[in-house]
Amino acid sequence: MLPEIVARSVLALTMAQPVPPPADPRPDPDEGGLGSVRLQIPEPMVFDLVRPLGAEKGEIEVNTLFLQPLSGRQRTLQWAPEVEMAYAEGHAIEFELPVEGVELESYKLGLQSKFPARKSHYFTHGWQGLVEKGRRGFAWDTTQMYLTGIRFHRRWSVMSLHGPRYFRPRGAPGEWSMVANNTVFYQAPKWPVLGFETNLELSRRRGSYALFMPQIHVHLGARLILQAGVGAERPPGRGTNAVASWRLIREF
């Protein structure tokens, strides 16, 4: 009788379904350097996104961009710490503090939403809106951009941001300009992400701005990413200067 009971117990244990491990409360634990979750497209370093398109509710990220001119008369370090949070699936908000040297220049608020794309394997899109209140030099400005991400190869992809900007100086009438940011990325297995970012702003009154920034994205650890590059910048009314830039990203 006892051997029969033991045999039946062993058989029941072998046929039982294993208990699944507990679900990860964060289904996407390392997306700080992405522009799109579904397509795994990286995000531009200088003109970044407010969380990746398709981010899950509750995700939080802190990062700081540094921009250091290497030539020309104006060589003051510009840096901007910011906090980003996805308050709903596909929708995010950020708060940023642009600083020049040790002087706080402005307060910036950003909102972003992902548009439906029918689970396309190569295309995603969304919207980003920015509002900035200046503490000196300008009163305020706002930028509204249409975001597109295209994966045309398993290693090559493009992230683009295009739209109008309204800039209001202190004591003067406002003016419109057009912003265009395009970044091409190359992703090889087990290697850092390589990218080439172009940032253009076309303004009839203030003149045009251009930035060309080759860059590399490196994972320093779990949820910790460093983006860095050296390129060229041409502010309105000035010559072309060499500039270094880096962004440190920590996701929670």
In the chain, the domains with their CATH numbers are 33-251 (2.40.160.40)
End-to-end CA distance of the chain: 57
Taking residues 6-17, report their average pLDDT.
42
Helices and strands, counts by H and E, the chain:
1, 16
How far is residue 36's CA from residue 77's CA, in Å, rounded to a whole number?
30
Query: Taking the CB of residue 159, how many other CB atoms lie within 10 A of it?
Result: 29
Instruction: Render pLDDT for 125-134 as a digit per residue (tens, 0 to 9).
Output: 999 999 999 9
pLDDT for the residue numbered 11: 42
Taking residues 215-234, report their average pLDDT.
95
* Four-point Cα dihedral 25, 28, 32, 38, nearest 10: -150
How far is residue 209's CA from residue 98's CA, in Å, rounded to a whole number?
18
Taking residues 77-105, report their average pLDDT.
96
Instruction: Render pLDDT for 154-183 as a digit per residue (tens, 0 to 9).
Output: 999 999 999 999 998 888 888 999 999 999
CA distances from 191 to 30, 39, 83, 219, 230 (A): 16, 18, 28, 10, 19
Name the 3-class secondary structure at 236. Answer: coil
Per-residue pLDDT band at 74 (split at 50, 70, 90): confident
| Nearest residue to 56 via CA among 32, 110, 96, 92 | 92
Residue 239 DSSP one-character state: -
Identity of the residue numbered 119 = K
Instruction: Render pLDDT for 189-211 as a digit per residue (tens, 0 to 9).
Output: 888 999 999 999 999 888 899 99
pLDDT for the residue numbered 131: 97
Q: Which residue has the higher pLDDT, 168 or 17?
A: 168
Tokens of 130: 């920015």
pLDDT for the residue numbered 162: 98
Instruction: Render pLDDT for 120-161 as a digit per residue (tens, 0 to 9).
Output: 889 999 999 999 999 877 889 999 999 999 999 999 999 999
pLDDT for the residue numbered 22: 34
Per-residue pLDDT band at 13 (split at 50, 70, 90): very low
